[in-house]
Structure 1
Amino acid sequence: MNVNEHACALFKPHIKVPTAYKTRLNTLHDTKLSICSNFRSRRYFPSSASIRKERERHTQNPRYKRIIHPFSKFSMIENVVACIAWVLLLLSEAYIGTFSGPSFYKTGPRTTPLSDSVLLSLNLVLFADYCMRFAFGYTIEKVGTVVLEPASIVKHYLKTYCLFDGIPILNVFLFYILPLPPKVKLFIFQLHKLRLARMKTFFIDVELYLMQLRVHSTVRTVCAFAIIVGVFLHEWTCVVGLVNLGKCMYDLPLHRSWLHQYNYGRNASFQGHIAFEFKEDLPYWHSMWLYLVHFAVVAAFSYGCVPDDHYVQNSFERFIFSLILFTGMFVYVYTIAHVVQLLGTHKVSETKFDEIYFGLEDFMRLKQFPRDLQKRALKYYECKYQRKFFSKEKIFSYLSEHLRMEALLYSRRNLIARVNMFQGLSKSVIGCILGQLQYEIYLAGDVVLRTEDANDEGTYFIKYGTCGVCLPSGREIHHVEDGSHFGKNDSYVEGAQVHFLGSVVALEVSEVYRLEKKDIKHCCRVYPELVERLQRIKLDRSAFYSRMLATVQREEQVTEDIREQLRQGKILEKGLKRRDFGYF
């Protein structure tokens, strides 16, 4: 660069410098209104790179500048506030609109300023949420995508919950602003029950929040049922109380009204137009008493356990209580269905085990198997599956190769720790060997390896249990226990072959793994380091087999000497004395 040239650090005139307000606004949009890493976003964007790309799609597109991402921090906080306001309004509007009495619907000075303030404040919160819904992106669960197009967002909200959210808010403001007759106000105020259409989205949000807190699925299900039953009882309680209030305000006769009789005594007179005894300034304790009375009535009818003397004569009241009964029956059926589903998936392996266990028992009884064989078969099945039946091969087939290897190493960690042959080997070598092992359970008295099985050249590993090594004569000369390995041939490595001349019999329930000769040859080709380990083991096994062979020869010699003395008639005379041979 020329030393006489001036490099100006000032901004050029045509470059527009963003204002501090706009800079803060852009920062707020990028950090608070765009996607962030949380429990919900991870369900759609599992990696940090995908979250970063989604953030770039949202922040760098000019069309999305006024759109709030559904997985943003602001969206999460706003959703929690809206859910709380929705629940409080759902409960409070039904209660206040029913048990505050006719004075709540009269025009003029208000007698319930506290309840009015609460209702207006909560409705203002939901009104703000209603306006922001036109700028909130939404998700499509089936395809796992996030929609941020403004036109699509507006169209989607208008087609779903726009009317159910807007009409209750509009009616509340009309209720307090316009000087409407009390009868009209009663009808308008009850339109708040349209909010019940939002129950589905409310349960979805509660489910996601509980999942984020790592609450168990059973606890989540119990919470959902508690909310359903609570809302059901509360809403029907307020409807029952609304029946007499509506009759009073619309000047309808209370003739044969069982509800009025239930509230004010069985000796009350119900002739003609009898006014419902709501006071102008209804005390809190009196309104709560009415609420509890109606709550008990609704609970009794929904359970179907109303006493016989509670006979309803009014047709409209019969219709109301029939709806309550049907709703209660629906809740029962829904609850039982979910409980059965939970029980069906809670202990699937135990249920499958019992099914096969009792099926095996019935089969052997039908075929008249010997009693001892039945006991051994049932004991074998119980020891092998530990009262939990599942297919390990099928479960492992759903995992990746790396996860399969890790799961295999962990599930057989006790075998790795006990068998000396595996000590010091790398995970890859051990995994290669473990992947070829064949698992079997032997009961007491079962023969694991026979002397006459010349073609059996496998190697056996004992995870737990005790087996006895017996000579051809049947004499037990050695025990192999947890962590031991034995075999009939060591020909999988170079060198002289030393044959195993004994048989192995399980002395107790033993868990044994078998490795074929061809499999261990394959492992030796893939991992040459295994050959050196096997050669050292072969030397130790050869020495052991040599001692065993010498023992067999001495035993045969002693046996032959005894037979010879018997033939010569010298068995009772002074002759050769048997020595106590030391066996291994």
Structure 2
Amino acid sequence: MPFFCNFHKSFEGETHKCAIRHDGSMSYLPALKRKATWFQRFRRLLKRSTLISEYNPQSYEYFRSKAEIFRARKEHVVTKSIVIHPFSDFRAYYEIWMSLAWLIILFYMPADAAFDIISPESQRGVLLEETYSGTTEDDYFGFTLRLIGFIDIIITFFTGYCVKKKRKVVMDSLKIAKHYVMSIYFITDLLATFPMDFFITNDTYQRMINTMGFLRIIRLPTLYYYMSRTLEIFRLRRISIQIFKNVVVNYLVFHWFACVQYMIPQIRFFAYGELVAESWIERADLPEVNFVSRYIACVYRAAGSLFCISFEEMKLEAWEEKLVAIITFIFGKVYVFYITVLILNYLLRQRSLEIKYFETISQVQAYMSQKQLPISMQTRLLQFYDYKYNKKFFKERGITGLLSEKLKGEINLNVCSKLVQNVSLLAHLPQQLLEQVVLNMKAEIYLANDIIIKAGSVGDCMYFLASGTVGVWTPSGKEVCHLQDGAYFGEISLVFKDKRRTANIVAVEICEVYKLDRRIFRNCFKSNSSLYKILEEVAKERMEVTQMFEDVHAKTFMELGH
């Protein structure tokens, strides 16, 4: 089972223990033969890891239920696509390891370009105008990092991407390639990854090529995203962890500017073949000291420039360094302003709707504490608010109460458009009747293990399942089947007069249903004889199936009793 299954359990509550035997694998991949080779088993395991995972927490941000996730998985398998789903197990593990890899790359490559960590004598020789046959071709560590970068380029071409605004996942290979090639990342990744220094023996040219490592700073948002995803998967959301993440990213910004500071005289030497004698680096004799001393001095200089602090002992005379200082000052002002805004947004919970949501949650928690509700009930109540409002509180009645009936009907029809598409019964209704049905539907949310319908009770409504999964049980407790998005139930009591509920309907996961009462049902469906006949046939069939399971279960129970 994937490593983030614990997150999945906490997201949905207690895990449902299914008593039904499912036909086939929920991965929708062809079953392996008994005599399958290890390679075939490995290939199937690898393919399964690239499919969307119902245990990935991000899956539920784009897909509302397991049924939608399974449909996306099935479509992925049917199309025989080799694209990796961004919410797959493979991608989750990959992002965890790439968090560490990008952290090392973003530190090492600019530092090696500036200070030549592997062979510092070569770098010192350049500044002192001495001839030196460099050993950068022995930089196997740098080559390994470039190789990782090249593999990342290939993986990106074969990984789907998310369109956050539309809540959509793009899995088309051509669109993925176009999206990546047209982005700023592709060119910089290619230039910083290609190991040209292994094909060029001239030390000066190798040093110039290594400066491509500075392009890696563009991938700083990628590191931040991967770190955020890793913390989300491991459920590490404490404030100390968030501070650590921001400190790491901000340090890399200072690190990059420190490396730029030390590169100025080297660039001048590469371009004109002469040293910048007036450079503060030459005046401070930094090439003569060890790497740690040089690095600390440059970080100190970069931090001062970013915060617009001037240093008398490091007064700038070279025009190249003055130009870099101007750019650094401007960036520093924007950077400080940006960090300040982020801190203020964090303190204000970023948005007023979120503030209202957390205020409401605080009131709910105070209410639960005052009423001394059990922990399990408190958890379920908070799950309800989380699903209902998605961390943004709004007064739905206050918004819809001001709307006209026509506009309200259009909004309801648009909100329920997915439900109408999934429920074949509603799709056959005339437009006028459909609007009347949707307008009179009442939305309700049930948490996992909530009883929606109890066997033997009087039925005065039927239900349409918009999102989630429900289980059908006989009165004696035998599980019959599952119903998922687009299903409807509770029609038996409305079709047959004086007929009580014949089965228990229980939510397997968080479910969103729409309830239609008896009066609207009669007005809409009884006037349409063909649809009413379909309902009647479905009701009879369900009654027979439920009764069959009930009889078998009762017979088995009696035999065990004897």
- Structure 1 length-normalised TM: 0.50
Residue 188 of structure 1 aligns with which residue? Answer: 209
In structure 2, C-alpha distance between the alignment counterparts of 1:347 and 1:68, rounded to whole Å: 34
Residue 254 of structure 1 aligns with which residue? Answer: 276
1:332-390: per-residue Cα shift (whole Å, max 9, x none)?
Answer: 211211222233339989xx9xxxxxxxxxxxxxxxxxxxxxxxxxxxxxxxxxxxxx8
Partner-residue secondary structure (3-state), 1:67: coil
1:456-500: per-residue Cα shift (whole Å, max 9, x none)?
Answer: xxxxxxxxxxxxxxxxxxxxxxxxxxxxxxxxxxxxxxxxxxxxx
Letter in 1 for 2:335: V
1:94 and 2:110 aligned = yes
In structure 1, C-alpha distance between the alignment counterparts of 2:350 and 2:190, rounded to whole Å: 42
In structure 2, C-alpha distance between the alignment counterparts of 1:408 and 1:80, rounded to whole Å: 38
Residue 530 of structure 1 aligns with which residue? Answer: none
CA contact (8 A) 2:96 2:230 kept: no
Change (3 A) 1:44 1:110: same
Residue 32 of structure 1 aligns with which residue? Answer: 49
Change (3 A) 1:347 1:44: closer
Residue 253 of structure 1, CA deviation: 4.2
1:138 aligns with one of 153, 161, 167? 161
Change (3 A) 1:227 1:409: closer
1:180-217: per-residue Cα shift (whole Å, max 9, x none)?
Answer: x4443333221222222222232222222223333447
Residue 120 of structure 1 aligns with which residue? Answer: 143
In structure 1, C-alpha distance between the alignment counterparts of 2:68 and 2:170, rounded to whole Å: 15
Change (3 A) 1:22 1:407: same
In structure 2, C-alpha distance between the alignment counterparts of 1:142 and 1:306, rounded to whole Å: 44
Change (3 A) 1:68 1:234: same
Q: How does 1:420-439 map to 2 (within 5 A)?
A: none
CA contact (8 A) 1:97 1:190 kept: yes
1:311-336: per-residue Cα shift (whole Å, max 9, x none)?
Answer: 32222211112222222222221121
1:264-318: per-residue Cα shift (whole Å, max 9, x none)?
Answer: 6xxxxxxxxxxxx56xxxxxx7122211121222222323333445432222211
CA contact (8 A) 1:263 1:293 kept: no
Residue 263 of structure 1 aligns with which residue? Answer: 285
Letter in 2 for 1:163: I
Partner-residue secondary structure (3-state), 2:274: coil
Partner-residue secondary structure (3-state), 1:345: coil
Residue 234 of structure 1, CA deviation: 0.8
2:368 aligns with one of 410, 426, 443? 410
CA contact (8 A) 2:157 2:180 kept: yes
Unaligned runs of 5+ in 1: 1-15, 265-276, 279-284, 353-389, 397-403, 418-584
CA contact (8 A) 1:237 1:291 kept: yes
In structure 2, C-alpha distance between the alignment counterparts of 1:53 and 1:208, rounded to whole Å: 24
Residue 379 of structure 1 aligns with which residue? Answer: none
In structure 2, C-alpha distance between the alignment counterparts of 1:56 and 1:110, rounded to whole Å: 55
Residue 237 of structure 1 aligns with which residue? Answer: 258
CA contact (8 A) 1:225 1:335 kept: no
In structure 2, C-alpha distance between the alignment counterparts of 1:223 and 1:34, rounded to whole Å: 32
Letter in 2 for 1:314: A
1:134-167: per-residue Cα shift (whole Å, max 9, x none)?
Answer: 2111111111122222222222221223222222
Residue 110 of structure 1, CA deviation: 5.1
Partner-residue secondary structure (3-state), 1:203: helix
1:67-116: per-residue Cα shift (whole Å, max 9, x none)?
Answer: 212111111222222332222122112112222357269999753577x1
Letter in 2 for 1:140: V
Q: How does 1:303-318 map to 2 (within 5 A)?
A: 303-318=307-322
Residue 29 of structure 1, CA deviation: 4.3
CA contact (8 A) 1:85 1:126 kept: no
Change (3 A) 1:86 1:343: closer
Residue 247 of structure 1, CA deviation: 3.3
In structure 1, C-alpha distance between the alignment counterparts of 2:42 and 2:67, rounded to whole Å: 25
1:58 aligns with one of 72, 76, 81? 76
In structure 2, C-alpha distance between the alignment counterparts of 1:59 and 1:348, rounded to whole Å: 42
CA contact (8 A) 1:263 1:290 kept: no
2:189 aligns with one of 141, 151, 165? 165
Residue 327 of structure 1 aligns with which residue? Answer: 331
In structure 1, C-alpha distance between the alignment counterparts of 2:360 and 2:94, rounded to whole Å: 42
Change (3 A) 1:224 1:82: closer
CA contact (8 A) 1:207 1:220 kept: no
Letter in 2 for 1:328: G
Residue 203 of structure 1 aligns with which residue? Answer: 224
CA contact (8 A) 2:83 2:160 kept: yes
In structure 1, C-alpha distance between the alignment counterparts of 2:357 and 2:258, rounded to whole Å: 52
In structure 2, C-alpha distance between the alignment counterparts of 1:209 and 1:218, rounded to whole Å: 15
Residue 218 of structure 1, CA deviation: 4.4
Partner-residue secondary structure (3-state), 2:284: helix
Residue 178 of structure 1 aligns with which residue? Answer: 200
Partner-residue secondary structure (3-state), 2:285: helix
1:226 and 2:247 aligned = yes
In structure 2, C-alpha distance between the alignment counterparts of 1:130 and 1:346, rounded to whole Å: 34
Q: How does 1:545-560 map to 2 (within 5 A)?
A: none
1:432-456: per-residue Cα shift (whole Å, max 9, x none)?
Answer: xxxxxxxxxxxxxxxxxxxxxxxxx
CA contact (8 A) 1:301 1:324 kept: yes
Residue 500 of structure 1 aligns with which residue? Answer: none
Residue 42 of structure 1 aligns with which residue? Answer: 60
Residue 56 of structure 1, CA deviation: 1.0
Partner-residue secondary structure (3-state), 1:39: coil
Change (3 A) 1:247 1:102: farther
In structure 2, C-alpha distance between the alignment counterparts of 1:190 and 1:391, rounded to whole Å: 49
User: Which moved further from structure 2: 139-148 or 104-113?
Assistant: 104-113
Question: How many residues were matched structurally?
Answer: 329
Residue 224 of structure 1, CA deviation: 4.5
1:292 and 2:296 aligned = yes
Change (3 A) 1:407 1:297: closer
In structure 2, C-alpha distance between the alignment counterparts of 1:391 and 1:184, rounded to whole Å: 58
Residue 238 of structure 1, CA deviation: 0.9
CA contact (8 A) 2:192 2:215 kept: yes
In structure 2, C-alpha distance between the alignment counterparts of 1:234 and 1:183, rounded to whole Å: 24
Unaligned runs of 5+ in 2: 1-31, 375-562
